[in-house]
Amino acid sequence: MTNPQISIRNLCVDYITDAGDVRAVNNVSFDIGKGEIFGLAGESGCGKSTVAFSLMRLHKPPAFITGGEVIFDGRGDILKFSEAEMTAFRWSEISMVFQSAMNALNPVLTMEEQFCDVIMRHTNLSRQDAIRRAQGLLEIVDIHPDRLRDYPHQFSGGMRQRLVIAIALALNPKMIIMDEPTTALDVVVQREILQKIYALKEEFGFSILFITHDLSLMVEFSDRIGIMYSGELVEVAPSKQILEQPFHPYTEGLGSSFPPLTGPKTRLTGIPGNPLNLLEVPQGCRFQARCNKVHSACSSIPTQLRQLEPNRFSNCHLFNKSS
């Protein structure tokens, strides 16, 4: 991709624990374009949140970024930024909406305090101007500006999630990471919030890394989708193609675990077996034990994400001419 918003190359993250060292993210590479919504999907525990945290360098031990590069806006590798550079970068260039809005908001502070804290820490605005900015942000997410004086518990779940989105927008970031942003909400509110996010993206032009385990929701809202399995990116494709014409057997299985958005109802087949134990990673492909198209190369030759067609990537040996 030319001139991407962010370019992630060979990212590796390890969890170093008494039980053993786990490579939770292995050689993950992808780009997100300016104004693009990139979805990251895969079963629970496959490493989606670990990738997201890496882009803001929010990891704490036992997690360690052990390799790779994250180039933002062509401006150098943020994995090499100093702590001071990172503090200036976080929230103002990339911000994040976490899964649980209740945990992201401080229950003992009014929303005014919380907005002013973020805005005044990163700008030279006076308190009056910060409050004015916060009122504008509330209006953007359809909440009356007077409610700035309220505490988090005085809002509904859907409103709290919109407040968290407003805080993520506070410094006009170029990219927002949304890690399961609507999982805790009922389906109607989920859809409302995603439509709001989409409208804001159209208006302000930021990029989104959108994480969810709900593949049908993701297909609807993303431009392109990356599928992760056991810490690796196994396929990247435009969202329109990923379910209709999957290249990787895992994507195919994942697609058949969800009801289709349109067309006749079919039986959901799912994927037999369990996710890999990361303490016992086999040689070759990580998906081999669950794959219905496994062949001899899969147990010996390491996989690598390769471009197969314009805008289509997969790491499956079925498409590797040399294996």
Ligand X SMILES: Nc1ncnc2c1ncn2[C@@H]1O[C@H](COP(=O)(O)OP(=O)(O)O)[C@@H](O)[C@H]1O
Residues 6+ apart with CB under 8 A from 37: 198, 201, 207, 208, 210, 221, 222, 223
278 binds, options Mg ion, ligand X, none, Cβ within 5 to 8 A by partner type? ligand X
Query: Using CB atoms, what's the residue nearest to Mg ion?
Result: 49
Of the candidate residues 5, 27, 49, 207, the single one contacting Mg ion (CB under 5 A): 49
229 binds, options ligand X, Mg ion, none, Cβ within 5 to 8 A by partner type? none
Which residue's structure tokens are 């675990």? Answer: 257
Q: Distances from the Cα of 135 to the Cαs of 86, 132, 138, 144, in angstroms? A: 27, 5, 5, 8
User: Going along the chain, which residue ranges are E strands?
Assistant: 6-17, 20-32, 37-41, 63-72, 94-97, 175-179, 207-211, 224-229, 232-238, 306-309, 312-314
In this structure, what token pair is assigned to residue 256?
Answer: 């058949």
Q: 62 or 205: whose CB is closer to ligand X?
A: 62
Q: 15 or 155: whose CB is closer to Mg ion?
A: 15
Residues that bind ligand X (CB under 6 A): 15, 17, 22, 24, 42, 44-50, 62, 278
Q: Is the peptide bond before 249 cis (omega within 30 degrees of 0)?
A: no
Nearest distance in Å: CB 210, ligand X: 13
Q: 26 or 135: whose CB is closer to ligand X?
A: 26
Q: 24 or 116: whose CB is closer to ligand X?
A: 24
Query: Which residue, 220, 131, 219, 223, is CA-closest to 170?
Result: 131
3-state secondary structure of 31: strand
Nearest distance in Å: CB 65, ligand X: 13
Nearest distance in Å: CB 48, Mg ion: 5
Nearest distance in Å: CB 51, Mg ion: 9
Q: 49 or 182: whose CB is closer to Mg ion?
A: 49
For Mg ion, which stretch binds (CB under 5 A), given 47-55, 69-77, 260-268, 280-288?
47-55
- Using CB under 5 A as the binding rule, the residues of this chain from 265 to 294 that contact Mg ion are none
Nearest distance in Å: CB 296, ligand X: 28
Q: 114 or 230: whose CB is closer to ligand X?
A: 230
State yes or no: residue 54 binds Mg ion (CB under 5 A): no
Nearest distance in Å: CB 281, ligand X: 11
The per-residue b/e assignment along 80-101, b for 16 or more CB within 10 angstroms, e otherwise, is: ebeeeeeeebbbbbbbbbbbeb
Q: Distances from the Cα of 139 to the Cαs of 1, 9, 143, 227, in angstroms? A: 35, 38, 5, 35
Footprint on this chain of Mg ion (rule: CB under 5 A) = 49
